[in-house]
């Protein structure tokens, strides 16, 4: 109980001091986590990269579904979340203290191939958006599935303009409610 309270306080505090990095005052719900990975055939997934895992809500759901031997790499810029994730998940994951702008380098560091990218970032910071989208596009063209969410669907149309984005789900049981999207050109799902 104390651990969960501590995580909630940390999350809320990060929302106050870094509103562009932490766009919500509470972590995503378990229902949001389920929606983020619903319909993915995890028998075909060997490497997962999660962007902005925060307190690990999506990570927990990913680990439930990944088969033995799947590499799960978490990319987190906030030092306090890095420590929390290492403590919470131990050797089940690899935690990289880095910016999502370094995605291409990190994928190279971990074998050069990624099957699934899950983003816990509801807002892309303008300074990294272009770099990240170039990397995402490159990997989805090679068969990578990219799942992300938004609290504001019109932003998705603007940011991902011209890319084959599909709306996967609407999650009302989340604060705030969110929409889950996928960018993929493969048959993994």
Q: What is the pLDDT of residues 72-83, one digit of tens each?
A: 999 999 999 999
Cα–Cα distance, 187 to 120 (Å, whole number): 23
Give, for 148, the enclosing helix (H) or strand (E). Answer: strand 145-150
What residues contact residue 107 under an 8 Å CB cut-off, 6+ apart? 49, 113, 114, 135, 139
Distances 9 to 16, 58, 134, 157 between C-alpha atoms, Å: 11, 18, 35, 33
Closest CA to 85 of 36, 131, 51: 51
Cα–Cα distance, 77 to 66 (Å, whole number): 24
Q: What is the pLDDT of residues 118-168, one digit of tens each?
A: 999 987 778 888 999 999 999 999 999 999 999 999 999 999 998 999 999
Identify the architecture of domain 28-183 in CATH: 3-Layer(aba) Sandwich (3.40)
- Total-model pTM: 0.88
Residue-range domain boundaries for the chain: 28-183
C-beta of residue 181 within 8 angstroms of C-beta of residue 149? yes
């Amino acid at each position: 109980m104390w651990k969960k309270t501590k995580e909630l306080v940390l999350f809320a505090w990060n929302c106050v001091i870094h509103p562009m990095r932490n766009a919500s005052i509470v972590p995503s719900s378990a229902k949001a986590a389920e929606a983020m990975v619903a319909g993915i055939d995890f028998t075909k997934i060997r490497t997962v990269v999660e962007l902005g895992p925060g307190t690990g809500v999506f990570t927990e759901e990913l680990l439930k579904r990944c088969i033995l031997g799947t590499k799960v790499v978490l990319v987190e810029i906030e030092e306090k979340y890095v420590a929390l994730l290492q403590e919470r998940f131990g050797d089940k994951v690899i935690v990289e203290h880095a910016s999502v702008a370094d995605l291409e380098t990190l994928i190279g560091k971990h074998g050069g191939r990624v099957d699934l990218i899950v983003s816990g970032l509801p807002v892309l910071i303008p300074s990294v958006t272009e770099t990240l989208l170039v990397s995402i596009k490159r990997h989805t063209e090679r068969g990578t599935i990219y799942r992300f969410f938004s609290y504001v669907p019109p932003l998705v149309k603007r940011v991902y303009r011209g890319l084959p984005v599909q709306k996967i789900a609407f999650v009302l049981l989340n604060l705030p409610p969110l929409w889950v999207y996928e960018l993929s050109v493969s048959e993994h799902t």
